[in-house]
Every structure is written in C-alpha cells, then in structure tokens.
C-alpha cells in the first residue's frame, strides 16, 4: 500500500526547513537551513533579515528535501506549512510557497499551528504514542502545558504570562555575554556550576497553578549581575547559569508533573527547543518515574524548529479533512486548534 506522503515547510522564525514524512510517523527527509550565524551578531533574530533569507533558501531547501526522500512532487499527497504563530514576514514566505506548490501540483494544502507541530515531533520519535497525553512545550517563544485529547484536539492547561523559558535563557545569556542562542551555552556552562549558589525566584499563581512566569526570574539574575559588576567583583558565570537553569527546570518539572497527576494523564511528553536542555530532560525523567508516569521526548534534532514535525501534524490534519484553500494566510498570533 502506498504511504501517505506529506511535504512539510517550516519558516516561523529563523530556520528554513522542509521535510517529507510518510504516514505521519516515518521521516524520509528533514532538511534544516539555520540562520544562527546571520543573527548572532545582533544577539537575537532580526525579523526583516530572517524573511529575506527565507526567500533565498526556500526553493533549494525544498528541492533537497525531495531529493533526499527520493520522491517527486507528483508522489506527494499533501503540502503542509506552518501558518502561525511566528514572525509574520517569515511565515508568509513558507505559506506562500506552500500554496503555490500545492496549486501547481493540484495537491491539498494544510496550515499547521507551530505548537501543534512541536507536539507531533513525539509521534515521529515514538510511533507507538497515541493520545491522550499531556505535553509540555517549551521554546524561545512558547511555554505551554497542553492536554492532547485526540490527534486533532489540543487543550491549553497552562501558559507563560510573560517571557517564555527559551526567551529567558537567551536574555540571561546575553547579559552574561555568552552569545546567541543562549539555551545551549547556558546548559553547557551550568554543568560546571553550583546550582545552590544563588536562590532565584520560582513563581506560582494561586488562581492558575499551571501557568508560568519567567520575567521575574530573568530580572533577578540581571539584578545580581549588575550588583556584582558595580562592586567590581568577578562574575561566577557557571554558578549563575546553574542557579538560573535550576530555577527554570524546577518550575517546569513541578507544574508538568502536578498537571499530569491532577488531570489523570499517565503519559507526559516534552517538546520544543528547550526540550534539548539536558537538565530538564533528566529532571523530568526522574520525576515522572517516581510518579509512575510514562515520559517521552524527541531527539534534539526534532526539538528545535523543523519541518518533519509540521509534515507529521499536517498528515493528521489532512486525513481529518482540514484542508485549506488559496485563502490560507500567515497568522502570527494564531490560536491553538480545539477541534
């Protein structure tokens, strides 16, 4: 039986990515062109530069994905693209290309929510995984606890009220002069630090126990750094990284495990760029094991923005009949699908 083949396209931020996935679970190709070097000099993503680079890269990246998968456009059953949320200019490149590609090949086109794509990365890494389960999605722009009730129904239980976890990592790395992106370097340096050297805040909300807030934590780290600099004292960078990271990891883990227990989920998944963080992976694995909860996490290549996850979620949506017409448009503040 011929597999259901979907070409996925991801351009929500600063990765131009294309992938071909079979039956929503098997990766045939996954090509990612990163813009880290382009934006590193600015300490963060410059939206206009990202959009221009997507325009330059989208065609060769898609061609490489098709070549690696050993398929031609006629073999595809659907085209899926990240519709939002993300940078509007960057999203427009991917959505416009997907619509044109689908129209030329008379293929259905599917819009995918970026966070739902991150959730679907777990289907690729763990083909046996099926809903219902709880998913903690943590990245540069998102910190969400999501109840995955069915393949197409996702309910938000908690979200960040300010900075996302990944955003806090980047800002702390910037104030410490560690470069961009901050997450990987903070994680690496923290290994040599004392996580108990500084006691940074862990924010809780009485009215929303599953919501997150990392703005105060970030500000607390910055204040300590400024105080040390004003006194002319050397910065204990490893200790600062370890103490900051421990605060983030404790909050994410505690809220995720609590939500799983209180909402009756026996499976917890981790997704998003910050899911590559070694301390977070280890802590969640340990705490879920203590509580009798199954724990799933994708490999790092499927945690960062990629198109295989978009193709996986696109397969689910295409088979469920959620096919878009030529009116499909980029939506930088797209809300979560609840149907």
User: Which tokens go with 15?
Assistant: 């990765």
The pLDDT score that the predictor gives to residue 299 is 97
Size (the chain), residues: 339
Return d(Cα 330, Cα 84) in angstroms, integer: 6
With 60 as the cut, is the pLDDT of residue 338 above it? Answer: no
Q: Which CA distances in Å does 77 have to 64, 67, 101, 151?
A: 18, 16, 12, 19
Q: What is the pTM of this model?
A: 0.94
Please tell me which residue, 130 or 42, carries the higher pLDDT value.
Answer: 130
Of the candidates 122, 121, 50, 113, the residue with the CA atom closest to the CA atom of residue 82: 113
Classified as helix, coil or strand, 298 is: coil
Mean pLDDT of 212-234: 96
H or E element in which residue 144 lies: strand 143-150
CB burial of 288-324 (b: ≥16 within 10 Å; e: otherwise) equals: beeeebebbbbeeebbbbbbbbbbbbbbbbbbeebeb
Please tell me which residue, 326 or 98, carries the higher pLDDT value.
Answer: 98
pLDDT digits (tens, 9 = 90+) for 118-161: 999 999 999 999 999 999 999 888 899 999 999 999 999 999 99
CA 158 to chain centre: 16
Return d(Cα 238, Cα 90) in angstroms, integer: 35
Mean pLDDT of 164-186: 93
The pLDDT score that the predictor gives to residue 185 is 95
The pLDDT score that the predictor gives to residue 142 is 87
With 80 as the cut, is the pLDDT of residue 188 above it? Answer: yes
Domains of the chain: 5-120+303-319 (3.30.420.40), 132-297 (3.30.420.40)
The pLDDT score that the predictor gives to residue 337 is 62
Q: Give the largest CA-CA distance in the chain.
A: 70
**With bands split at pLDDT 50, 70 and 90, how would you rate the model's confidence at 323?**
very high
Instruction: Specify which residues 9 forms β-bridges with.
Output: 18, 81
The pLDDT score that the predictor gives to residue 40 is 76
Mean pLDDT of 29-38: 89
Residue with tokens 């989920």: 265
The pLDDT score that the predictor gives to residue 339 is 42
Return d(Cα 120, Cα 110) in angstroms, integer: 15
Of the candidates 18, 107, 102, 111, the residue with the CA atom closest to the CA atom of residue 61: 18
Mean residue pLDDT across the chain? 95
Give percent of the chain above pLDDT 90.
90
With 60 as the cut, is the pLDDT of residue 243 above it? Answer: yes
């Amino acid at each position: 039986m011929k597999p259901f083949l979907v070409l996925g396209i991801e351009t929500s931020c600063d990765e131009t990515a294309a992938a071909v996935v079979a039956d929503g679970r098997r990766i045939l190709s996954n090509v990612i062109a990163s813009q880290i070097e382009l934006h590193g000099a600015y300490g963060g993503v410059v939206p206009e530069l990202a959009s221009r680079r997507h325009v330059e890269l989208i065609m060769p990246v898609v061609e490489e994905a098709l070549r690696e998968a050993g398929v031609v456009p006629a073999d595809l059953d659907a085209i899926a693209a990240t519709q939002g949320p993300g940078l509007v200019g960057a999203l427009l490149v991917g959505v416009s290309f997907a619509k044109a590609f689908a129209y030329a090949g008379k293929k259905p086109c599917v819009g995918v929510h970026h966070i739902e794509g991150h959730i679907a990365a777990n289907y690729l890494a763990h083909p046996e995984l099926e809903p219902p389960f709880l998913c903690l999605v943590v990245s540069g722009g998102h910190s969400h606890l999501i109840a995955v009730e069915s393949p197409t129904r996702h309910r938000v239980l908690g979200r960040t009220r300010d900075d996302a976890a990944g955003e806090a990592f980047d800002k702390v790395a910037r104030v410490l002069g560690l470069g961009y992106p901050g997450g990987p370097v903070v994680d690496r340096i923290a290994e040599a630090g004392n996580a108990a050297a500084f006691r940074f805040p862990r924010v809780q909300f009485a009215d929303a126990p599953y919501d997150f807030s990392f703005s105060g934590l970030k500000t607390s780290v910055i204040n300590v750094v400024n105080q040390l600099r004003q006194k002319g004292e050397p910065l204990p960078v490893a200790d600062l990284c370890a103490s900051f990271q421990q605060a983030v990891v404790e909050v994410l883990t505690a809220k995720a495990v609590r939500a799983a227990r209180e909402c009756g989920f026996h499976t917890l998944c981790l997704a998003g760029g910050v899911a590559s963080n070694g301390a977070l992976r280890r802590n969640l694995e340990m705490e879920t094991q203590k509580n009798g909860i199954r724990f799933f996490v994708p490999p790092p290549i499927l945690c960062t923005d990629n198109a295989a996850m978009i193709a996986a979620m696109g397969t689910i949506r295409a088979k469920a009949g959620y096919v878009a017409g030529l009116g499909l448009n980029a939506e930088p503040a797209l809300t979560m699908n609840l149907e």
